């Protein structure tokens, strides 16, 4: 009986031709190219057929099917990559795209985006130029390095440096620095990939200068220091003084390399945690440092290699360089960001630094602005309060710094905090929040003024629809 009914329903599915003809008379569908239209109609009919076979009740009238076709076009027109509002308080949120660009960086990207540019063209000589030339001078001026190079990201930078300077040789690393960061970047694995051999020295908590010294052999290719990124070893610990380590490397004619991870170009210290700057590392005697373009530097994705001209020169000739080269959009954004450091006041102009430096008063005022705007929700039984919060730098920087912040905590009346969190997330412009103890928390540290207004507007809308 059921099987008969299913057969009957399948037979009554309108023919493709009929749907195509009907679509041709509909204004909202006429506009699409014919082959695309036919393809979407086929998809809709196929899906309806499958649903009928699974026993679902489907409206297979021509208007209903054409509405589905229109929905398919609309879904295809929605970008997958969209902006979100970051209310998590994590400044360098890797899942949310790390560093937002500065105005200068954005305008640099826009300029090269749709036209041609002198990416690898030397305007003065009219000959082929180097893509690296656009930012090397700025990098050297800012950091004090002799030369520099930039690749796709810092992971690639580390790989290139190790492969270029120590392939087939031994690289000495402290046991306290065998780091894993997000996305399965593990120092021992990267070393293996580069063709170098890891020589671990010292212990998890203590490594001394003599540990490095005793490990040096005829086969040593480099000494590597790694920023421990997302953790800190505290208590009974020791690491050799960087100056002494650099003298040791010099005595044995070995390159001393540091993967700085985040790498800041301005001195940063918050809540007892301090990030060593790129300038400091180079000044104390590291021969090569590598760091990310989109962590504390606040630019686009990129891996910056800075240091001695002799070593950079070797890396420039490495065959791997072509495979990990940086593209013109990232390069433009990085140049714009470096200009912020040279021409402006980076703490004002570079969004990441700006957000890290927001004062308590400023953060309180922002939280109050949001709380005031959503005050009407209190009448519908929602609970709203301004709370002291702790935000994080993220991006493997300042791992133990607790950045005192402010935000708004919302308990949505009869609804659960989880339900509100979902409502905030599954929209065209999602708002990403934290949920804690049945409260939805909006940390205002990473929110712009327009984010605050938009968030208030959306909360009022959501409460209207939820309380209906
Ligand atoms: C983040 C980080 C990297 C990787 O940098 P990407 O730019 O994300 O590739 C490498 N090493 C350390 C120590 C890091 O913190």
**Class of the CATH-defined domain 85-91+356-467:** alpha beta
**Residues 71/427, Cβ–Cβ less than 8 Å:** no
Q: Which of 153, 185, 225, 226 to mutate to test the pocket of ligand 1 (most atoms within 8 A of CB)?
A: 185
What DSSP string runs through 111-154?
A: HHHSS---TTEETTTTEE--TTHHHHHHHHHHH--SEEEEES-H
Please determine, for residue 39, whether its predicted confidence score (pLDDT) is greater than 90: yes
Q: State which ligand 1 atom lies nearest to the alpha carbon of 156.
A: 9
Closest C-alpha among 458, 450, 445 to residue 365: 445
Domain 103-349: give its CATH code. Answer: 3.40.640.10
Mean pLDDT along residues 141-153: 98
Q: Is 228 in the pocket of ligand 1 (CB under 6 A)?
A: no
Q: How far apart are CA 335 and CA 296, in angstroms?
A: 15
Domain boundaries, the chain: 3-77, 85-91+356-467, 103-349
- Under DSSP, is residue 408 helix (H, G, I), strand (E, B) or coil? strand
Pairing mode of beta strands 197-201, 220-226:
unpaired
**Residues 438/411, Cβ–Cβ less than 8 Å:** yes
Residue nearest to atom 7 of ligand 1 (CA): 154
Q: What are phi and psi of 216, to 5 degrees?
A: -70, 130
- Taking residue 126's Cβ as centre, other Cβ atoms within 10 Å add up to 8
Any residues with CB less than 8 A from the CB of 400 and at least 6 apart, and which?
232, 234, 271, 272, 273
pLDDT at 467: 65
pLDDT tens, 305-350? Answer: 999 999 999 999 999 999 999 999 999 999 999 999 999 899 999 9
Q: Which of 261, 286, 297 to mutate to test the pocket of ligand 1 (most atoms within 8 A of CB)?
A: 261
Calculate how far, in angstroms, residue 239's C-alpha sits from the geometric centre of ligand 1.
Answer: 21
Please determine, for residue 1, whether its predicted confidence score (pLDDT) is greater than 60: no
Q: Is 291 in the pocket of ligand 1 (CB under 6 A)?
A: no
pLDDT tens, 264-273? Answer: 999 998 877 8
Partners of 173 in beta bridges: 200
Q: What are phi and psi of 220, to 5 degrees?
A: -75, 135
- Under DSSP, is residue 340 helix (H, G, I), strand (E, B) or coil? helix
pLDDT at 400: 80
**Residues 222/166, Cβ–Cβ less than 8 Å:** yes
Q: Is 337 in the pocket of ligand 1 (CB under 6 A)?
A: no
Calculate how far, in angstroms, residue 127's C-alpha sits from the geometric centre of ligand 1.
Answer: 35
pLDDT at 270: 86
Q: Is 261 in the pocket of ligand 1 (CB under 6 A)?
A: yes
Residue nearest to atom 5 of ligand 1 (CA): 154
Q: Is 263 in the pocket of ligand 1 (CB under 6 A)?
A: no
């Amino acid at each position: 009986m059921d099987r008969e009914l299913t057969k009957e329903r399948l037979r009554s599915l309108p023919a493709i031709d009929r749907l195509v003809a009907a679509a041709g008379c509909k204004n909202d569908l006429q506009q699409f190219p014919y082959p695309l239209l036919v393809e979407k109609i086929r998809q809709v009919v196929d899906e309806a057929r499958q649903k009928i076979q699974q026993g679902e009740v489907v409206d297979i009238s021509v208007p209903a099917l054409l509405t589905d076709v229109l929905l398919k076009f609309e879904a295809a027109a929605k970008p997958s990559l969209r902006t979100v509002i970051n209310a998590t308080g994590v400044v360098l949120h890797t899942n949310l795209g790390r560093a937002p660009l500065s105005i200068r960086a954005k305008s640099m990207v826009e300029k090269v985006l749709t036209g041609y540019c002198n990416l690898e063209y030397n305007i003065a000589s009219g000959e082929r130029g180097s893509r690296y030339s656009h930012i090397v001078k700025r990098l050297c001026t800012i950091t004090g390095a002799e030369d520099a190079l930039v690749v796709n990201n810092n992971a690639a930078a580390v790989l290139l440096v190790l492969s270029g300077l120590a392939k087939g040789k031994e690289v000495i690393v402290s046991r306290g620095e065998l780091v894993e960061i997000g996305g399965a970047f593990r120092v021992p694995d990267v070393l293996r990939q580069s063709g170098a051999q890891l020589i671990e020295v010292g212990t998890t908590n203590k490594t001394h200068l003599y540990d490095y010294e005793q490990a040096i052999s005829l086969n040593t290719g480099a000494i590597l220091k790694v920023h421990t990124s997302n953790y800190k070893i505290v208590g009974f610990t020791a690491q050799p003084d960087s100056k002494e380590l650099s003298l040791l490397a010099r005595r044995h004619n070995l390159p001393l390399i540091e993967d700085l991870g985040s790498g800041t170009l301005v001195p940063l210290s918050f809540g007892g945690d301090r990030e060593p700057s790129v300038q400091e590392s180079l000044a104390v005697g590291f021969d090569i440092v590598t760091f990310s373009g989109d962590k504390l530097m606040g630019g686009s994705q990129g891996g910056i290699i800075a240091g001695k001209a002799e070593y950079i020169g070797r890396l420039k000739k490495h065959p791997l360089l072509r495979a990990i080269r940086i593209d013109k959009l990232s390069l433009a954004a990085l140049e714009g960001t470096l200009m912020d450091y040279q021409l402006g006041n980076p703490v004002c102009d570079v969004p990441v630094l700006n957000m890290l430096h927001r004062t308590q008063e400023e953060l309180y005022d922002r939280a109050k602005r949001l709380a005031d705007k959503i005050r009407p929700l209190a009448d519908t039984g929602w609970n709203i309060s301004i709370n002291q919060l702790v935000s994080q730098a993220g991006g493997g920087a300042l791992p133990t710094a607790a950045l005192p912040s402010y935000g708004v905590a919302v308990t949505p009346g009869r609804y659960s905090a989880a339900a509100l969190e979902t409502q905030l997330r599954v929209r065209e412009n999602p708002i990403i929040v934290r949920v804690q103890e049945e409260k939805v928390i909006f940390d205002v540290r990473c929110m712009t003024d327009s984010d605050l207004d938009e968030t208030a507007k959306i909360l009022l809308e959501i409460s209207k629809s939820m309380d209906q």
